[in-house]
Structure 1
Amino acid sequence: MTSIFKKLQVKPDGDIATVDFLRNRDLIPMGPPRRLWGYQAFFSYWTLVDCCIVIWAAAASLLSIGLNVKETIGIVIIGNCIVATLSCLNSAPGYYYHIGFTVSQRILFGIRGSYFGIAMRTILSIVWYASQAWLGGLCLGLIFSCFSKKYLYMENTFPESVHMSTRDFISFLIFHLISIPILCIKPEKITHFLKFAAAATFFGMLGTFIWAINKGGLGPLVSAPSNFETTADHAWAWIYGITSWVGSISAGITNSSDFTRFSKTRWVSIAPTTISLLVMGTIIPVFGILSGSATTAIYGEAIWQPNKIAEKWLLEDYSATSRAGAFFAGVSFLCSQLALNLVGNGIAGGMDMAGLFPHYINVRRGALVTALVSWVIQPWLFYNTSSTFVVVMASFSIFMAPIIGILVSEFWIIRRKHLKLSDLYSMKPSGNYWYWKGINVKSYVIFFIVSTPALPGLIHGANPNIKISKGLHNYYNGNCIFGFFIAVLLNLVISYIFPAKGIHETDDADYFDTFTKEECEELGIIPYSEIDHDADVDVDVDVDIVSEIVSPYKESEKV
């Protein structure tokens, strides 16, 4: 049995000669050879986050709470401004020190305590992978239906209790199969696929929108008024709308440093992230709202998902023209689901699992495990039943908001952008991130103070028969905003009263070969190439760190 586990262990390579409890190749700071993401890559990544079926349909939920179209668009714009700001701030450990979400949790919760935040993100990755894979399967079903009318009208051989059709199951299975080779692509080398998928998806959605407006005009929903009894209810609807919009992307905000660690230069991610979120993040929901309104005029019912609009073309008229239009639309939507699931959920889940089990899981293995375990989630229940599980998972922002707040305040205000990388990979109690027995009690206290008052609202959302006070309900509705700012304030106050040690310390040398010589000069540290491995100390470095970090770092290089 021992030999089996030994064979399953992640093998060292040229980047790292030792895999241990805290590191493997995908957890160490990202060196220049692997930092291949530029402007186009980041713009494409965030465009894919926005150009997807979920975001197209998401604005419809804001109309359902009584807001009108103009107010919904206003909420989307405000929400995207918040998302862009938080993404740029929260991803700083990635573009400053080239570490991802997994390692940055050690700053927040301690070397041992970090598993808490990592585990939550892992669960989110698995659930959203399942959800996006189901939508991807529907896109595949649309494509197959363009070639076969029998596939479009395939007889359902499953019992009603399964809550999915035979056709959808086959499509879902095939989507998983074609995802496997894509999940094996290294994160730093997927930029070309992201660019292609982003362009294909945008033009597919643009074409669907143009068709809907040309056929049905703006539709009746555009002129519908908002519907609230009191001004207070109207105001809280705005807060809930902004919170739900930010919350829907909170998982992506939380682990944004997983991708900024691949930045070619420090600031290369800021402009494309901001532009994409503000422009594409507004255009696509507007497409969804207006297309839904137009389909009301065309078919007598609002169709909120773009793939369902294309499927309606086939159901209404199975002509060559309809099939061609549905095929190209289906291919573009499929590109979105494949790319988004790869980056936003597969790779993200792989990085999280690598942090939990670095001896046995790297990014590639973790991504494949994420895809495999996602079957357990049964995502067809999300869309074909009134599952309370969806409500619970959609409310996970109550846990993400305090984590984002703690990290932003810790990195930017308390530590003033100073990190000691070597201590993030050390089990020594003297390390800056060991705190109390490997756990940062302060962050845990803040997390539970902030998230606990929102739990009654989450329970009420899952079971409306359980009554809660209006105050708790309002806190839950605004949890993404309230949770972030309360976490920031509490972290600043507690850190002032009980300051952590070494908050402004950095390493004296680039022990991980993370930075270029120009970056080392800017940071005031000794470049990796000048570290004396044999400790003949002609440069001022920590000999213990040279032995612990540098010695097992690059097998092929003796410095």
Structure 2
Amino acid sequence: MPNTFSPNFPATTDQFVGFVVFWFISTPFLWLRPEKFKIPFLIVCLWCGIGMLAWMIWAVTTAKGVGPLWDAGENIPSGSAWGTSWLIMAGINQTLGGIAAGITNGSDFSRYSRGRTPYMVGTITSCVITSVIVSLVGLVTTASGQKLYGEIYWNPPDLLMRMMDNGNGSSKARAGVFFLAAGFAFTAMFENICGNAVSGGIDLAGLFPRYINIRRGAIITFVAAWVVQPWQLINRATTFIAVLSSFSVFLAPIIGIMACDYFLLRKRRIRLRFFISAFVFYVLNKILPVLDMDQIDPIDLYGTFTEAEAKRAGVVPLDDSPILRGVSGGRSTEHVVIHAEKDVLATPQYCINIAQRAIEDL
């Protein structure tokens, strides 16, 4: 594909077309509820994981071992002001910076967990075990690629393109590169949807709950990708490094401070009475009171609580909640029929609110 962009534009025509195709393929998945992501995520993770392992096995077998990169050891410039220990600490800091955004958004998805143990197992597996395995596979594949092609390719797409060129575009080369690239692309797509679009949607829904729900917020966040111009981040090294550094410089130290403060200093005990802010907040709400501030929903509409938690909170669990039998756009609100297994007093206006929320969720 010929490049029709100017040399000053930080992307080529084929790269920009790839971004457009990626964006449009990703968009329909924004209509999925977060709790429905399990099966698509399972498929793409298996696809990508098996593809990476197959790629590593192929590279090691074809090269008959790993290249000199594997045994290169440390290579610190003589004029460097930093020793090995400080470089290791810098690597740890950069690693935390890379996953800090995901850690920050962890609470958005931990609420979908059935308990503490599954969430902890999933977090440790993804952040520690999987990261180590992926790094090892990447290092072995890159070292074998160095032995095959005489160059070091740290970026997987670059190595895939070299495989295409080396195979002269044969059917085997095209098939192998296609399945590997598709696995990486779909994995990146779902990671982008979950970690960026949905998380942004949850944040926007929290800021403007009256006008924006999670789905609308995710769509707004996804459209904002055009404003961010990701091709600037990928193809300009200085910008890319600056973005990564911004995460590691701020978020990684903050996480360290918060972990030390919570686990070591406070020993997981937190007093929730912050006196000055509480007093100011109380006075402001007395001067400008919020209507119905002391009211709660009598029904757990979104299945937030377990049955025991709902009982403690004084609300009807979702399984025992009123069932919306029918809502017709052409009929008046009096035709909204609500039936409850328990005695729940619901005003006409409350019935209307339930109907409106049901329509929005649909």
* Cα distance per residue 1:126-157 (max 9 Å; x no partner): xxxxxxxxxxxxxxxxxxxxxxxxxxxx1111
Paired residue for 2:343? none
TM value normalised by structure 2: 0.73
Aligned partner of 1:529 among 316, 334, 344: 316
Match of 2:229 in 1: 378
Using the size of structure 1 for normalisation, the TM-score is: 0.49
Q: Which residue of 1 aligns with 2:58?
A: 211
Match of 2:306 among 508, 511, 516: 516
Deviations 1:15-50 (A, max 9, x none): xxxxxxxxxxxxxxxxxxxxxxxxxxxxxxxxxxxx
Q: CA deviation at 1:243?
A: 0.9
Q: Secondary structure at the match of 1:239?
A: helix
- Map of 1:161 onto structure 2: 8
Query: Is 1:284 matched with 2:134?
Result: yes
Partner in structure 1 of residue 70 of structure 2: 222
Superposed CA offset, 1:239-297 (max 9, x none): 11111111110111112111110012333211232233332111111111121111111
Q: Deviations over 1:88-145 (max 9, x none)?
A: xxxxxxxxxxxxxxxxxxxxxxxxxxxxxxxxxxxxxxxxxxxxxxxxxxxxxxxxxx
Q: Answer yes or no: is the 8 Å Cα contact 2:98–2:247 preserved in 1.
A: no
Instruction: Provide the C-alpha distance between the structure 2 equivalents of 1:402 and 1:433, rounded to a whole number of angstroms.
Output: 27
Task: Give deviations 1:67-106, integer Å, cap 9, x for gaps.
Answer: xxxxxxxxxxxxxxxxxxxxxxxxxxxxxxxxxxxxxxxx
1:529 is paired with a residue of what secondary structure? coil
Residue aligning to 1:435: 278
Change (3 A) 1:377 1:416: same
The RMSD of aligned alpha carbons is: 3.4
Q: Does 1:171 find its partner at 2:18?
A: yes
Cα distance, 1:331 vs structure 2: 1.6
| Separation of aligned partners in 2, 1:395 and 1:307 | 25
1:302 to partner: Cα distance: 0.8
Runs of 5+ in structure 1 lacking a partner? 1-153, 421-430, 440-506, 531-550
CA distance in structure 2 between the aligned counterparts of 1:511 and 1:406, rounded to whole angstroms: 40
- In 1, are the aligned partners of 2:96 and 2:252 still within 8 Å (CA)? no
Residue 220 and residue 414 in structure 1: after superposition, are their counterparts in 2 closer, same or farther (change >3 A)? Answer: closer
Q: Does the alignment pair 1:387 with 2:238?
A: yes
5 Å matches for 1:111-510? Answer: 154-216=1-63, 217-228=65-76, 229=78, 233-317=83-167, 318-388=169-239, 390-401=241-252, 404=255, 413=266, 416=269, 435=278, 437=280
SS at match of 1:208: helix
Higher RCO, 1 vs 2 (CA within 8 Å, ≥6 residues apart): 1
For structure 2, list consecutive stretches of 5 or more residues without a partner in the other structure.
283-293, 318-348, 356-362
TM superposition shift of 1:383:
2.9
Per the alignment, residue 129 of structure 1 pairs with none
- Residue deviations 1:369-416 (CA, integer Å, cap 9, x gap): 222111222222223223336414432233324654576578774883
Q: Are the counterparts in 2 of residues 219 and 297 from structure 1 also a CA contact under 8 Å?
A: yes
Partners of 1:434 and 1:517 lie apart in 2 by: 34
CA distance in 2, matches of 1:410, 1:553: 46
TM-aligned CA deviation for residue 308 of structure 1: 2.5
What does the per-residue CA deviation read over 1:207-234, in whole Å, with 9 as the maximum and x for residues that have no partner?
1111221222211111112134589611
Bigger radius of gyration: 2
Map 1:16-35; keep pairs closer than 5 Å: none
| 1:307 and 1:329 in contact (8 A); partners too | no
